[in-house]
Amino acid sequence: MDLSQLLQITIDKQASDLHIVAGYFPAIRINGDLYQLNTYPVLTPEVARAILFSILTDEQKENLLANKEIDLGYDFNGNRFRGNIYFSKNAINAEFRLIPSKIRTLEELSLPPYLYKLIEIGQGLILVTGPTGEGKSTTLASLINEINTKYSKHIVTIEDPIEYVYPKMKSLITQRELHQDTHSWNIALRSALRQDPDVILIGEMRDYETIQLAMTAAETGHLVLSTLHTTSTPETVNRIIDIFPSNQQNQIRSQLSSTLCAIIMQKLLPRIDEVGRVPSIEVLINNPAVASTIRDGKYHFINNILETSEEGGMVLFEKYLAKLYKEGKISKESGIAYSIRQGMFEKFIK
């Protein structure tokens, strides 16, 4: 058994992920479901270690052994994978996420094309949020590639690792990978501000210093796009503020209220026809009412604004779920199971 065979199966089956876990069969995830490849032998710790070490450089091996985990990008047969190799019970395991070679449009992703209007603003902060594995990076790539296709901009990306590789179109794109091209998010972000960027993509906002630098970049005339692992737009606002010490939170609320453009939260739901998954979204657009709510720390009012401001491009998650249900794309059971706000989905489908 070698890794190339397993990566090829992942590609052939159009799986999203490949798991190498010692003590189990290799496994792939298709449309959200995990399947163990029991036509292969169970992976022993020795075999798992050997097939994973076969793709690592000496420096990557040293980093893995020292830090007990490593992120990397890996190209195979014209396809790109994002990998995370890690220790578990003293054995070496891995997860590889298949990155589609073609960057799809919002329409191809079954997302509303009006989201492209967000990038026409030219400056400010756009966040794509949601749990892990819900398509955040894919949506961001679609937005970035739309800029690449239509505008002559300098786009700087800071990623861990680089996922989508953008085609040469109108924009100049500089992609930087953590540990390969830079030593830290914050050093790279500070440096990006001196690289004459128009657009900055930050793979993930992980700590308050990165968030502070991102807001500063947005405040100084740049369009900044990033991700957070949150499950609703009000939670995203709350998470950003809460990550700062209490004595800084008033200042951060004021800064966020003026720099935020929009938050797009998305989850992928099983389609009723069992062919793939369909995204459901919540969209918070920063308007005077939202800005005032953020500034005053009254985040509980955001739900009401979302529900009553559809004409401004806002979308409440449960209303979008109801739309998918009425279009015959998801089941009622899925709508109920994935709802964030108890009872709201059922209210909208009556």
pLDDT in tens, 90-139: 999 999 999 988 999 999 999 999 999 999 988 999 999 999 889 999 99
Residue 344 has pLDDT above 80, yes or no: yes
pLDDT value for 287: 94
0.95 exceeded by pTM? no
> What are 101-113's pLDDT values in tens digits?
899 999 999 999 9
Burial 215-243 (b: 16+ CB within 10 A, else e): bbbbeeebbbbbbbbbbbbbbbbbebbeb
- Confidence band, pLDDT 50/70/90 cuts, at residue 180: confident
- Confidence band, pLDDT 50/70/90 cuts, at residue 229: very high
Full residue range of the structural domain in which residue 18 is found: 3-99
- Interval 320-347 mean pLDDT: 95
Domain shared by 270 and 323, yes or no: yes
Rounded CA separation 27/103 (Å): 25
SS3 (DSSP) at 49: helix
Is the Cα torsion angle 317, 319, 322, 323 positive or negative in sign? negative
Q: Which residues pair with 93 in a beta bridge?
A: 86
Domain shared by 141 and 37, yes or no: no
Residue 206 has pLDDT above 90, yes or no: no
Structural domain count of the chain:
2
> What are 287-300's pLDDT values in tens digits?
999 999 999 999 98
pLDDT value for 101: 84
- With respect to residue 36, please indicate whether it lies within any of the assigned structural domains: yes
- Confidence band, pLDDT 50/70/90 cuts, at residue 1: confident
Alpha-carbon 50 to chain mean position: 31
Cα distances (angstroms) measured from residue 318 to each of 72, 238, 334, 345: 36, 20, 11, 5
Domain shared by 196 and 280, yes or no: yes
> What are 30-43's pLDDT values in tens digits?
988 999 999 999 99
Domain shared by 198 and 301, yes or no: yes
Domain shared by 39 and 131, yes or no: no
Domain shared by 167 and 143, yes or no: yes
Comparison of pLDDT for 310 and 65, the residue scoring more: 65
- With respect to residue 107, please indicate whether it lies within any of the assigned structural domains: no
- With respect to residue 57, please indicate whether it lies within any of the assigned structural domains: yes
Write the CATH number for 186: 3.40.50.300
Q: With pLDDT > 90 as the criterion, what percentage of the chain qualifies? A: 89
- With respect to residue 104, please indicate whether it lies within any of the assigned structural domains: no
Two tokens, residue 40: 């292969």
343, with CB counted inside 10 A (0-12, 13-18, 19+), is exposed
Domain shared by 123 and 63, yes or no: no
* Domain boundary, last residue among 99, 124, 142: 99
Domain shared by 66 and 135, yes or no: no
Comparison of pLDDT for 276 and 44, the residue scoring more: 44
- With respect to residue 105, please indicate whether it lies within any of the assigned structural domains: no
Domain shared by 95 and 189, yes or no: no
Domain shared by 179 and 252, yes or no: yes
- Confidence band, pLDDT 50/70/90 cuts, at residue 275: confident
* Domain boundary, last residue among 73, 99, 125: 99
Q: With pLDDT > 70 as the criterion, what percentage of the chain qualifies? A: 100
Write the CATH number for 7: 3.30.450.90
- Confidence band, pLDDT 50/70/90 cuts, at residue 332: very high
Angle between helix 233-242 and helix 249-259 axes, rounded to 10 deg: 140
- With respect to residue 108, please indicate whether it lies within any of the assigned structural domains: no
- With respect to residue 288, please indicate whether it lies within any of the assigned structural domains: yes
Domain shared by 55 and 135, yes or no: no
* Domain boundary, last residue among 44, 67, 99: 99
- Interval 185-190 mean pLDDT: 92
Domain shared by 118 and 226, yes or no: yes
- With respect to residue 190, please indicate whether it lies within any of the assigned structural domains: yes
Residue 281 has pLDDT above 90, yes or no: yes
pLDDT value for 283: 97
